[in-house]
Amino acid sequence: MRNVLVSGASVAGPALAYWLSHHGFKVTIVERAPALREGGYAVDFRGKAHLSILRRMGVLTDLEAVQTDITSTWYVDGAGRPQTRMPDDLFSGDVEILRGDLARVLYEATRDRAEYVFGDSITSLTEDGHGVDVTFERGAPRRFDLVIGADGLHSNTRRLAFGPEEDYVKHLGVYCAIFTTGNHLGLDRTGHAYLTSGKLVAMYSSNGNAEARAVFYFASPLLEGVRRNVERQQAVLAERFAGNGWESDRLLREMRHAPDFYFDSVGQVHMDRWTKSRVALVGDAAYCPSSLSGMGSGLALVGAYVLAGELAAARGDHRTAFARYEETMREYAKGCQKMGEGVAGYMVPESRLLTAFLHRYYKVMPYLPGKKMMVAKTRRVAENVVLRDYGN
């Protein structure tokens, strides 16, 4: 079994393609978007497990060259006056990089190893004893030995092979929006954040301070009719944050012209199994810990390494490989998901009382003994996996 279709070209998909091709598999990656997605939020890699995989892939130096280099984040008041400094070691890992930059580096490392098909998506999967017949929205039908879903929180592959999204995705009560804007505050490798009840708006310098990323979080139940509807998404954001204070109104105006506007719910994926016959899931499609956990990209990287390695070790026997993949990743994924539990309630507290308490707490938190414990716990979780040597 050497012919593999991977759905998704963000993080898990290209990482999986790298290791599958390294082990002699033929890989095709299909991506719904017409090109690589730019922008996005910052993602972290931390600890020996993450860094060793990136180093073996030969991309660690490239990622280090385009790090965000954010040194700290300041909570500000409505007039923009800094109130509380949050040190970078509380949130960032050994390498912090914008998701779009990460996708580009991984694509450049794999574009000569795998076939990329942009602007298309899987519409059906039909299995028999020897392979999977796949149909697409635009391309001609093709046949593959295995199909791997690496297509994120709202995985199309998961829906086709395992069932509807609502059976597996747990909404965490928060929505997020991110886009590129001008660095009109003159931020220098830092970020400013403004917290009000149920809302957080922030700006972070990026691209050598030449521009900035605007970030909005707001508490909300699931919304109808917003998926893939940018006009509706921007209308929701404008309605929620109009008159919110600080830089909110200006950023809402600039949002209309952003080239990389991103909007989505924040959630986790919980599944009893990530594999079914000749189909498997990896990364956020299988065990998304949420963007609030700080673990998603590292977990996807480890999952891709393990899945490809087990397929190689089993010499293409997908039944054996899938079972070992599930066994190796299960506890690690659970630990990473726990890092995202309960974060939403403190990141965008809905009550004014809790919001006021957090403003006071954040002022003293960097000096409390618990800070070092938080940093150490995050690193322990990130490193809590034993990586086999698959003949790399």
pLDDT digits (tens, 9 = 90+) for 238-273: 999 999 999 999 999 999 999 999 999 999 999 999
In this predicted structure, what is the pLDDT of residue 84?
87
How are beta strands 72-76 and 132-136 bridged, if at all?
unpaired
Element (H, E) at 251: helix 248-255
Q: Which of 34-48, 50-64, 102-116, 178-192 has the lowest mean pLDDT?
A: 34-48
CATH topology of domain 3-348+374-383: FAD/NAD(P)-binding domain (3.50.50)
If you average pLDDT over residues 291-312, what whole number do you get?
Answer: 94
Average pLDDT, the chain: 92
pTM for this predicted structure: 0.93
Per cent of the chain over pLDDT 90 is 73
What type of residue is 362?
Y
Give the model's confidence band at 17: pLDDT under 50 very low, under 70 low, under 90 confident, else very high: very high
In this predicted structure, what is the pLDDT of residue 138?
97
* More confident of the two residues 297 and 352: 297
DSSP string, 253-302: HHHTT-TT-EEEEEEEE--S-SEETTEEE-THHHH---TTSS-HHHHHHH
* CA 31 – CA 40 distance, rounded (Å): 17
* More confident of the two residues 61 and 69: 61
If you average pLDDT over residues 332-356, what whole number do you get?
Answer: 86
The answer to whether residue 344 scores a pLDDT higher than 70 is yes
Q: Where are the domains of the chain?
A: 3-348+374-383
* More confident of the two residues 363 and 372: 363
If you average pLDDT over residues 39-52, what whole number do you get?
Answer: 88
State phi, psi for 123 to the nearest 5 degrees: -115, -25
Tens of pLDDT along 72-94? Answer: 889 999 999 998 887 666 666 78
- Is residue 304 within 8 A of residue 261, CB to CB? The reply is no
- Is residue 262 within 8 A of residue 40, CB to CB? The reply is yes
In this predicted structure, what is the pLDDT of residue 207?
82
Q: Which of 78-92, 117-131, 303-317 has the lowest mean pLDDT?
A: 78-92
Give the model's confidence band at 300: pLDDT under 50 very low, under 70 low, under 90 confident, else very high: very high
The answer to whether residue 391 scores a pLDDT higher than 90 is no
